[in-house]
């Protein structure tokens, strides 16, 4: 893959209209497993008219809901994590990181790479895990935890050690936790709960920024809501850049409900665990190789990835051909979708490719 992508438009999942046209199959006939967005979403009920009519004011209710959910008072609502991914390089320039080198996972959500390269940062790749020995004074390190699409999950202990090194070298660790919600025991957000000056664990609290998304686990990618978790050193300039109305009234309203509804969240975790195990069961049977991923997607590494992607599209099943063209990522289907996927994967055109 061309690693210099500052001028490229990236391919993402979710581009069903374009794919439907390309394969000449009507939109409604597709099984769309091209994203890591949950197949069941938080039930959005009626939204009060004033949420649509008024300019969105700062919402204490949303802030409180998010503070409880992410277990830290230090956060800011954003229009999805993507808006922060795009804004961070410029912010880092203004916050004394203009000359930093940026470590990125070789495989991962490529919007990060694009944003840093657009801002002319020097980017360096690491494979699964950043090598502490290679981190220099003032480096920025990005970890996507768990990684999309590889599924690689770093433990809290590993990330704390990494953060200690980065903090000692006056660098910055950015953790993208867009897919963390179903495994909250691994989140690093509580580390940013303490008062910035009272942290007694040798960690400079300004050395950590965490990004969260309400799009994936809650199945609400369309409302564009996410959070940036950090201390004021970062939150203040980020708030300045975002301006007064970056999160819409309807997103604030629905987000508050979703983040406080513990019953629904538990049920969603159970459903996702069940559906993702069922998908894994089918994939392991078809591909007879390790299946990677999270409860929101499964990834199979195979040299036949482009051919299988093509064959599935011809049968009306849209998955994600990973950027390196050596892996396929499957979003989680519901029971009916899984049956359809299984029967197509076991059919002659696909079996011939395996
Ligand atoms: C790892 C990762 N981070 C962040 C995002 C952006 O998500 P959103 O802007 O919907 O929060 C994505 C989208 O696919 C992603 O895969």
Residue pLDDT, tens place only, 296-324: 999 999 999 999 999 999 999 999 999 99
- Distance between CA atoms of 338 and 211, rounded to whole angstroms? 31
- Distance between CA atoms of 256 and 208, rounded to whole angstroms? 25
Residues facing residue 32 across a β-bridge: 318
Residue percentage of the chain with pLDDT more than 70: 96
Contacts 24+ apart (CB under 8 A), 260-265: 260/65, 260/68, 260/69, 261/42, 264/42, 264/43, 265/181
Quick check: 5 pLDDT over 80?
Answer: no
- Distance between CA atoms of 296 and 182, rounded to whole angstroms? 8
DSSP, collapsed to helix, strand or coil, labels residue 143 as strand
Residue 213 CB–ligand 1 contact under 6 Å: yes
Q: Closest ligand 1 atom, CA of 13?
A: 14
Quick check: 2 pLDDT over 80?
Answer: no
Residue 221 CB–ligand 1 contact under 6 Å: yes
Pairing of strands 75-78, 226-229: antiparallel
Residue 230: pLDDT band (50, 70, 90) is very high
Q: Is the link from the previous residue into 279 a cis peptide, with omega within 30 of 0?
A: no
- CB neighbours of residue 278 within 10 Å: 17
Residue 226 CB–ligand 1 contact under 6 Å: yes
Residue 199 confidence (pLDDT): 58
Sign of CA pseudo-dihedral 28, 31, 34, 40: positive
Quick check: 253 pLDDT over 70?
Answer: yes
DSSP, collapsed to helix, strand or coil, labels residue 267 as helix
282 to 29, 287, 342, 350: CA distances (angstroms): 22, 9, 6, 14
pLDDT tens string 125-179? 999 999 999 999 999 999 999 999 999 999 999 999 999 999 999 999 999 999 9
262 — alpha (psi -120 to 50), left (phi > 0) or beta? Answer: alpha
Q: Ligand 1 centre from 254 Cα, in Å? A: 19
Residue 218 confidence (pLDDT): 98
The answer to whether residues 213 and 148 touch, using CB atoms and an 8 Å cutoff, is no
Residue 14: pLDDT band (50, 70, 90) is confident
Largest separation between any pair of C-alpha atoms in the chain: 63
Residue 202 confidence (pLDDT): 76
Q: Ligand 1 centre from 28 Cα, in Å? A: 25
Q: List the residue whose alpha carbon is closest to atom 3 of ligand 1.
A: 178
- Distance between CA atoms of 166 and 169, rounded to whole angstroms? 5
Q: Which domains does the chain have, with CATH numbers?
A: 16-41+263-351 (3.90.1150.10), 49-261 (3.40.640.10)
Pocket test for ligand 1, best of 80, 82, 242 (most atoms within 8 A of CB): 82
Residues 6+ apart with CB under 8 A from 24: none
Q: How many residues does this entry show for the chain?
A: 354
288 — alpha (psi -120 to 50), left (phi > 0) or beta? Answer: left
Residue 198 confidence (pLDDT): 63
Q: Ligand 1 centre from 338 Cα, in Å? A: 24
Quick check: 329 pLDDT over 80?
Answer: yes
Pairing of strands 140-144, 101-105: parallel
């Amino acid at each position: 893959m061309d690693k210099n992508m500052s001028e490229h438009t990236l391919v993402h999942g979710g581009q069903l209209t374009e794919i439907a046209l390309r394969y000449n199959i009507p939109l409604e006939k597709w099984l769309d497993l091209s994203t890591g967005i949950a197949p069941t979403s938080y039930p959005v009920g009626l939204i009060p008219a004033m949420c649509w009519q008024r300019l969105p004011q700062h919402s204490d209710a949303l802030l409180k809901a998010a503070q409880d959910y992410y277990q830290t008072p230090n956060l800011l609502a954003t229009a999805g994590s993507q808006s922060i991914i795009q804004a961070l390089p410029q912010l880092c320039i203004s916050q004394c990181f203009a000359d930093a080198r940026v470590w990125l996972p070789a495989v991962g959500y490529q919007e990060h790479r694009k944003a840093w390269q657009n801002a002319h940062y020097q980017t360096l790749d690491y494979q699964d895990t950043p090598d502490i020995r290679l981190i220099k004074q003032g480096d920025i390190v990005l970890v996507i935890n768990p990684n999309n699409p590889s599924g690689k999950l770093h433990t809290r202990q590993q990330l704390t050690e990494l953060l200690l090194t980065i903090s000692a070298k006056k660098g910055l660790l950015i953790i993208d936790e867009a897919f963390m919600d179903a495994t909250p025991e691994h989140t690093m957000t509580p580390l940013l709960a303490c008062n910035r000056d009272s942290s007694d664990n040798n960690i400079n609290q300004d050395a950590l920024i965490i990004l969260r998304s309400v799009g994936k686990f809650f199945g609400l990618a369309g409302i564009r809501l996410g959070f940036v978790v950090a201390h004021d050193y970062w939150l203040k300039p980020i708030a300045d850049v975002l301006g007064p109305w970056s999160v819409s009234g309807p997103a604030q309203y629905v987000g508050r409900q979703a983040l406080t509804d513990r019953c629904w969240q538990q049920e969603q975790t159970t459903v996702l665990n069940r559906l993702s195990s069922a998908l894994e069961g089918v994939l392991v049977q078809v591909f007879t190789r390790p299946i990677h991923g999270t409860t929101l997607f499964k990834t199979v590494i195979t040299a036949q990835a482009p051919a299988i992607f093509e064959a599935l599209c011809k049968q009306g099943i849209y998955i994600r051909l990973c950027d390196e063209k050596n892996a396929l990522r499957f979003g989680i289907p519901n029971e009916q979708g899984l049956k359809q996927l299984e029967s197509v994967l076991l059919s002659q055109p696909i079996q011939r490719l395996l």
